[in-house]
Amino acid sequence: MKSTFLIAMAMSGLFFFSCKENKEEKDVAQVETVASTEFDYNVEQFGDVKVLRYQISGWEQLTLKEQKLVYYLTQAGLAGRDIMWDQNYRYNLTIRKALENIYTNYEGDKTTEDWKNFEIYLKRVWFSNGIHHHYSNDKMKPDFSSDYLKQLLTDTNTTLEGEAFDIIFNDKDFKKVNQAKGVDNVLESAVNFYGPEVTNKDVENFYSKMKSPDPKKPLSYGLNSKLVKENGQLKELVYKSGGLYGPAIDKIIEWLEKAQGVAENKAQGDALGLLIQYYKTGSLQTWDDYNVAWTAATEGNIDYINSFIEVYNDPMGYRGSYETVVQIKDFDMSEKMSVVSSNAQWFEDNSPLMPEHKKKNVVGVTYKVVNVAGEAGDSSPSTPIGVNLPNANWIRAEVGSKSVSLGNIIEAYNNAGTTGRLKEFVNDSTELELEEKYGQIADKLHTALHEVIGHASGQLNPGVGETKETLKNYASTLEEGRADLVGLYYLYNPKLQELGLVEDWKKVGMAAYDGYIRNGLMTQLIRLNLGDDVEEAHMRNRQWVSAWVFEKGKADNVIEKITRDGKTYYNINDYEKLHDLFGQLLRETQRIKSEGDYAAVEHLVETYGVKVDQNLHKEILDRNKQFTSAPYSGFVNPVLVPKMDDNGEIESFTIEQPKTFAEQMLFYSENYSNLPATN
């Protein structure tokens, strides 16, 4: 890129309705990059996964007290690591403990294909926090036989039997989250948020009876509990001290209390106190009080995400997965990107939304570039590159939100080296040149606009319930598509150049549009097996956005489908008209959300976002075979090692990088296994 600002300006896209999106969820056809330092970002590759390292930029600039705060927060996050494993599937911890015991104690022949396949399977399970793929949600089947596993169990005196053994090899509980139309999504999802007999109707009926004390500030019912049937009656098992996951939560509380003791300021300390109280009581009112306090606590160099937050893993959109991210402020980049948040009202006022759907006063939208110091739960090993929280619409409207881009994570992706997929899928040299010159800044700006402006934009009509209630299983993909459309609409706008964010707004916008359509209609398909429908919320939204504008623009040939030498390409002929189509779709998606129009969102997603052209999909997979780089990436975390003085107090820290993925996973299991196998 042409300037240090444009190179370093790292935005995000794990959009947390909050928003949550991974780097590989963007256009996988990136230009090749060259590592700028001697640091080795690459750890290893197996299956469809590449494991990377990241550096904690800015660590040396922190005071010892600030470093202690970072350390305590990372320890709090890791203390709850096993919660995510159990949430993902009821047998995950049982299976993991057995597989790890085999891995560390087996003394037989480790040169066989069976053993190599066992290692790969265990690493894939580690990466996904369970036996279901972290992205597709499909159960991962091992490339070794049940007889071989039985022999390994015998040779290492390890117990794994009954359904926990059989589930590895059979077809039961095949889908962790099943979002298919026409099925009972709760019954057909293996995720451990519900008892085995709980149905969609049970969930709807149970929560329809719950009324918030203040209807204008609806509580996040179901966020921190498991819904089960006992003697035919529905009952919530709440995640709290003394409740479900109590042993791990007690450890989290211990570390958070240490963190509170070294808080940077009163606002930060008060917020931590409310989070501790929430973990102790499980009170959803306290959760809201905490989010209000956390959102308002914008001063300081350290921030964090901690608790049960994202609802993507719940087919009904109620229950939050456990996750933590500990962040150090990137001072220079955050100052430069504050221009986006400071102009939030302009973007809202000039959007194509219906007047009644626009916010008259966009408040409290903060945007920072941060450097990650540690992650756990749903954020690790597969990590977001950006976050926007909190999720509650009323808090966003009254208090605001925090948007962050994980700068050192993006830096690691860019410096780890990518493949030459881009040249395979671009239509011509002009598209290639635009991507190479403007693609990175376009991607970064899109995710900034998505997080800061997109999720903060728009408002619900009076009397319309929360989106998870009105749009149900389509809520997540509608919200992500809506935020994407906000970014797309403004990427092709001279305002970006006026604000000093780009040097050529038109070419940046063209590169952004090329990349989005290319990814939404073609390259993201490499993550699916031939014959699969699109199920993941973000993949769905990129497809329905792209497919809708492609179809609506056919009469004017806005986007042209080209076949050349047996290969398919998409070429944008009219960027102005495409910009208008993005605006039309943005207006409609906001209407759907504002009015709670379930029939409309069902039609939109099912018509454009679910089904895949099988001939095109096969072609894309065949064209992709020449590339060896894995389509998914994730990270090991640096290890903060405290050095103690003679009085047992921390006097300094060293940072150690794991040598292998297995090393870190086994270290975590040894030091942070705070739950029994069955909970």
3-state DSSP call for residue 260? Answer: helix
Which string of DSSP letters, residue by residue, matches 158-227?
Answer: ----THHHHTTTSSTT-BSS---TTS-TTTT---TTB-TT--HHHHHHHHHT---SSTTS---TTTTEEE
How far apart, in whole angstroms, are the C-alpha atoms of residue 596 and residue 614? Answer: 33
Of 465, 439, 444, nearest to 597 by C-alpha is: 465
Estimate the share of the chain in helix, then strand, then coil, as percent rounded to the nearest 5. Answer: 50, 15, 40
Rounded average pLDDT over 372-398: 93
pLDDT tens digits, one per residue of 447-479: 789 988 998 899 999 999 889 889 999 999 999
Name the pLDDT band for 419 (thresholds 50, 70, 90): low
Of 630, 527, 440, nearest to 43 by C-alpha is: 630
How far apart, in whole angstroms, are the C-alpha atoms of residue 587 and residue 638? Answer: 44
How far apart, in whole angstroms, are the C-alpha atoms of residue 663 and residue 659? Answer: 7
- Cα 6 from chain centroid (whole Å): 24
pLDDT at 444: 80
Name the pLDDT band for 30 (thresholds 50, 70, 90): very low
Instruction: Tell me the sheet residues that pair with 372.
Output: 327
Least confident of 71-85, 111-125, 133-147, 527-541: 527-541
Distances (CA, A) of 349 to 352, 356, 533: 9, 11, 38
666 pLDDT more than 60: yes
- Cα 492 from chain centroid (whole Å): 26
User: Can you read off the two tokens belonging to residue 204?
Assistant: 């709807």
ω into residue 390 within 30 of 0, thus cis?
A: yes
pLDDT at 199: 97
- Cα 98 from chain centroid (whole Å): 28
Rounded average pLDDT over 73-102: 98
pLDDT at 336: 65
DSSP-derived letter for residue 499 is: T
User: Can you read off the two tokens belonging to residue 549?
Assistant: 């504008």
The three state secondary structure string of 290-355 is: HHHHHHHCCCCCEEEEEEECCCCCCCCCCCCCEEEEEEEECHHHHHHHHHHHHCHHHHHHCCCCCH
User: Can you read off the two tokens belonging to residue 639?
Assistant: 């290890």
- Cα 284 from chain centroid (whole Å): 23
pLDDT tens digits, one per residue of 301-357: 999 999 999 999 999 999 999 999 999 998 766 766 778 888 999 999 999 999 999
pLDDT at 290: 98
Rounded average pLDDT over 213-235: 96
pLDDT at 629: 81
- Terminal Cα-to-Cα distance of the chain (whole angstroms): 51
pLDDT at 373: 98
How far apart, in whole angstroms, are the C-alpha atoms of residue 57 and residue 349? Answer: 37
Torsional sign, CA 277, 224, 389, 89: positive
pLDDT at 8: 27
List, edge to edge, every strand of the sheet that includes 386-389: 302-308, 322-329, 365-377, 401-406, 386-389
- Cα 644 from chain centroid (whole Å): 36
Of 510, 505, 499, nearest to 347 by C-alpha is: 499
pLDDT at 6: 26
- Contact assessment for residue 63 and residue 651, using Cβ atoms and an 8 Å cutoff: no
Sorted by sequence, the CB contacts under 8 Å of residue 517 that are 6+ apart come out as: 546, 549, 550, 559, 570, 572
pLDDT at 10: 29
Amino acid at 148: Y
Name the pLDDT band for 37 (thresholds 50, 70, 90): very low
pLDDT tens digits, one per residue of 126-176: 999 999 999 899 999 999 999 999 999 999 999 999 999 999 999 999 999
pLDDT at 598: 97
pLDDT tens digits, one per residue of 518-557: 999 999 999 888 999 998 899 999 999 999 999 999 999 9
CA angle 456, 459, 464 (to 5 degrees): 135
Torsional sign, CA 289, 290, 292, 297: positive
- Greatest Cα pair distance, the chain, in angstroms, is 78
Rounded average pLDDT over 399-420: 82
Whole-number percent of the chain with pLDDT over 70: 93
Task: State phi, psi for 317 to the nearest 5 degrees.
Answer: 75, 25
pLDDT tens digits, one per residue of 234-259: 999 999 999 999 999 999 999 999 99
How far apart, in whole angstroms, are the C-alpha atoms of residue 449 and residue 502? Answer: 13
pLDDT tens digits, one per residue of 586-640: 999 999 999 999 999 999 999 999 999 999 999 999 999 888 788 889 999 999 9
How far apart, in whole angstroms, are the C-alpha atoms of residue 591 and residue 459? Answer: 9
How far apart, in whole angstroms, are the C-alpha atoms of residue 305 and residue 327? Answer: 8
ω into residue 381 within 30 of 0, thus cis?
A: yes
